[in-house]
Structure 1
Amino acid sequence: MKLYQIVEIAGNDNHAGTKATSDIAWIAENIGFKPVSIRMRSTALSKAAKLQRQVGYLKDWHQACRTIEKDSVVLLQHPFHYPQLTREGALRKLKEQRHVRYICLVHDVEKLRGFRYNAYYEHEFLTMLDLADVLIVHNDRMADYFIKQGVDGSRIIKLGIFDYLQKDDGGRMPVFAREIIVAGNLETVKCGYIGQLGRLAPLKVRLYGPNYDEKMGAYDNICYGGNLPSDEVPSKLDRGFGLVWDGSSIEGCLGDAGQYLRYNNPHKLSLYLSSGLPVVIWNGAAEADFVRGNGLGLTAASLPELIDRMARLTEEEYLEYVRNISSVREQLIHGCYGRTALQKALELVRR
């Protein structure tokens, strides 16, 4: 039985979105899933460029159908973010004529995330449910959601947490500090809570990422460290706590983006833990149980409560979190969670 994976090749930005998919692709390739590339040849918006893209996709999907052998297992990462007119037809042809079986690894469920959901993503989701022989989802709560959509629970594997592949620096120890770090998109319109972080003074907040609002510099407790490539960010996560939060308010994870934390495994959590950094996470998040159960940091209903909690935090308590992170970090940087999930999915699909 041959193993393949469909790999979308496109531009790369300095945020976690593309690293999650590339890490899974690397992990999958290292356990035998041969990459089959579908390339975006142009990002231009002209009609000619759009036509060129679709012609390129047609060629790549045609080649994919020629490459993937009968009775193979194919890994798909969902959702596909770029419209490809020939994709669904090619995938159905492989399933119906070549009898391939699909493992579908879910990165995002746009219906749950809300603000990006449209007819395109609705069709993508329904197509995935129809094609998938096995689904790899984030956690128990997301699994429950899929079961409510009619998916047989015996076809579902739970990832637990996304890996974050990086070089092993020998387990660098973060420094005890009563401060928090936010690494990621800093757009205050999309992430309204970021624009309110100045209210947490005297609690210091360090920011790294794109779309920084220069007005934030007016707050004495805010320090901006720049927009760095994803492979450079871990070296800056050297003290305090990484913040796992989203939505419109520091009073709780409100709005579509904030409520999405009830279901998803934020890649930001993996970034912090793989760097050895304890975290602060919203207590309503699906991954709050993972953080609490492994003693990896603090859970909070609101960010203002951290002012007092940080003031009372001792260095010994902080170092206990750091020690607890050590074994989890080793697994994250070497791809253990993704590898385990893929191996379980292969066992299921081969039955």
Structure 2
Amino acid sequence: MTTWMTDIIQATDSGATFKARNDISKFSEQLGLRRLPIFRYDATLESLDSLHARIDGITAGVKAGDTVYYQFPTYNGVQFEKTFVQHMHIRQVNLVAVLHDVEFLRFPSTTYFDEITYLNNFDVVIVHNYRMETVLKEYGLKSNAVNLNIFDYSVNVQIPDRKKIEKKIIVAGSLNKSDYLKNWSYKIPIIAYGKQPNYSISSQVDYRGVLSPNQIVQKLPSGFGLVWDVNTNQYENSEEYAKYNNPHKVSLYIASGLPVIVKRGTAIATMVQTYNLGIIIDSLDELEEKIHQLTERQLDGIMIQVNHFKMLLTTGFFTKHAIIETEFQIAMGYPERSLFYE
């Protein structure tokens, strides 16, 4: 029996969509999973007969009893998502969803696909964290769940440990979710990377344009990586969604050796606090005070943790751990249990 991981094939971009999926494919391959390539395209323009033929071609090597890890969503359209699952059920394979985003939580007013009913077609669903698992179960998820906890981040070259961190702010990613940059008035220096947003960035922000995921992890300057998405017209529910998701930019910052600054109450804040990976604040107004209050000893302690955690992220620890736990659930039919010895 063979275990497969879908591998979404698309043009490389500067965002998390391509990078996160590609890294999961890469790290799962290191565990012996085989890649199942799926080209990203608009399946809404395709006839049903053509779609069936396409999926038959994609999954020609998949046999009864195999396990298929399906990275969801593919963004190939609802019909593609549903038809793929139907084909796998006909093949009698074990089916695992690897969640990258949950659209009805992310865009509640414009998402009409019943993702909960869809996800209940999977034997196991790999979710971002315990909070996401909890809210999905409140909405009716019945499938077993495994927590990823944080996205890994592969690198092409070894990133040296940072010994010291400058007291400045780094922002990277989708700047359309960071429109506080248009009125940035804090004295602490700030550097931003990403596609030009649909607003004018404040002249107080050192905007450095776009770098690819493999470039930016090597070139981020010393500072604190800020994770602070806000609601905008384009991203209506960013602040609520942050209570459940793992922002990929956290993984970027840590892989680059930067401590992070996150908002209290977000899902990722639990991990930052547990492993001492940075600072947790309630408001951007606290930024300067919290950073300047850090003693050298406190900052050294954070950097030791960040450098250790960086090694885990860049070697795929969390992806591999989630897959191993999932394999246990498929084999045994229930989650792994702690063993206690008397």
What TM-score comes out, normalization by structure 1 length? 0.86
Q: Deviations over 1:103-129 (max 9, x none)?
A: 11111111111267422xx24443222
* Matched residue count: 330
2: distance between equivalents of 1:275 and 1:243? 13
Does residue 1:215 correspond to 2:205, yes or no? no
What is the aligned partner in structure 2 of residue 180 from structure 1?
169
SS at match of 1:290: helix
Q: Deviations over 1:36-61 (max 9, x none)?
A: 222246x7xxxxx9747988754430
2: distance between equivalents of 1:256 and 1:50? 26
Kindly indicate whether the alpha-carbon contact (under 8 Å) linking 2:269 and 2:280 is maintained by their aligned counterparts in 1: yes
What is the aligned partner in structure 1 of residue 95 from structure 2?
102
What is the aligned partner in structure 2 of residue 13 from structure 1?
13
Q: Aligned in 2, Cα 1:78/1:116: closer, same or farther, shift over 3 Å?
A: farther
2: distance between equivalents of 1:288 and 1:86? 35
Does residue 1:314 correspond to 2:301, yes or no? no
State the one-letter code of the partner of 2:95.
Y
2: distance between equivalents of 1:50 and 1:307? 49
What is the aligned partner in structure 1 of residue 263 from structure 2?
282
What is the aligned partner in structure 1 of residue 86 from structure 2?
92
Does residue 1:127 correspond to 2:118, yes or no? yes
SS at match of 2:258: coil
Kindly indicate whether the alpha-carbon contact (under 8 Å) linking 2:52 and 2:83 is maintained by their aligned counterparts in 1: no
Kindly indicate whether the alpha-carbon contact (under 8 Å) linking 1:139 and 1:263 is maintained by their aligned counterparts in 2: yes
Structure-to-structure mapping, 1:201-212, within 5 angstroms = 202-212=187-197
Q: Aligned in 2, Cα 1:204/1:57: closer, same or farther, shift over 3 Å?
A: farther
What is the aligned partner in structure 2 of residue 46 from structure 1?
none
Q: Deviations over 1:52-77 (max 9, x none)?
A: 79887544302134321111110001
Q: Aligned in 2, Cα 1:203/1:124: closer, same or farther, shift over 3 Å?
A: same
Q: Aligned in 2, Cα 1:337/1:90: closer, same or farther, shift over 3 Å?
A: closer
Structure-to-structure mapping, 1:1-351, within 5 angstroms = 1-40=1-40, 51=45, 57-83=51-77, 85=79, 87-95=81-89, 97-114=90-107, 117-119=110-112, 122-129=113-120, 131-152=121-142, 155-169=144-158, 171-173=160-162, 175-187=164-176, 190-196=177-183, 198-200=184-186, 202-212=187-197, 215-219=200-204, 222-248=205-231, 256-351=237-332
2: distance between equivalents of 1:5 and 1:149? 27
SS at match of 2:200: helix
State the one-letter code of the partner of 1:199.
S
Kindly indicate whether the alpha-carbon contact (under 8 Å) linking 1:61 and 1:87 is maintained by their aligned counterparts in 2: no
Q: Which is worse superposed, 312-321 or 10-19?
A: 312-321
State the one-letter code of the partner of 1:240.
G
1: distance between equivalents of 2:151 and 2:320? 10
2: distance between equivalents of 1:180 and 1:275? 14
SS at match of 1:177: coil
Structure 2 gaps of 5+ residues are 333-342
2: distance between equivalents of 1:170 and 1:13? 21
SS at match of 1:218: coil
Q: CA deviation at 1:141?
A: 0.6
State the one-letter code of the partner of 2:181.
I
What is the aligned partner in structure 1 of residue 339 from structure 2?
none
1: distance between equivalents of 2:136 and 2:222? 38
2: distance between equivalents of 1:182 and 1:141? 25
1: distance between equivalents of 2:279 and 2:92? 48
Kindly indicate whether the alpha-carbon contact (under 8 Å) linking 1:174 and 1:276 is maintained by their aligned counterparts in 2: no
Q: CA deviation at 1:151?
A: 3.0
Moved over 6 A (4+): 52-56
Kindly indicate whether the alpha-carbon contact (under 8 Å) linking 2:182 and 2:202 is maintained by their aligned counterparts in 1: no
Q: Which is worse superposed, 51-60 or 320-329?
A: 51-60
What is the aligned-residue RMSD (CA, Å)? Answer: 2.5
2: distance between equivalents of 1:289 and 1:87? 32
SS at match of 1:157: strand
Q: Aligned in 2, Cα 1:89/1:302: closer, same or farther, shift over 3 Å?
A: same
Q: CA deviation at 1:132?
A: 0.7
SS at match of 2:289: helix
Kindly indicate whether the alpha-carbon contact (under 8 Å) linking 2:170 and 2:224 is maintained by their aligned counterparts in 1: yes
SS at match of 2:267: coil
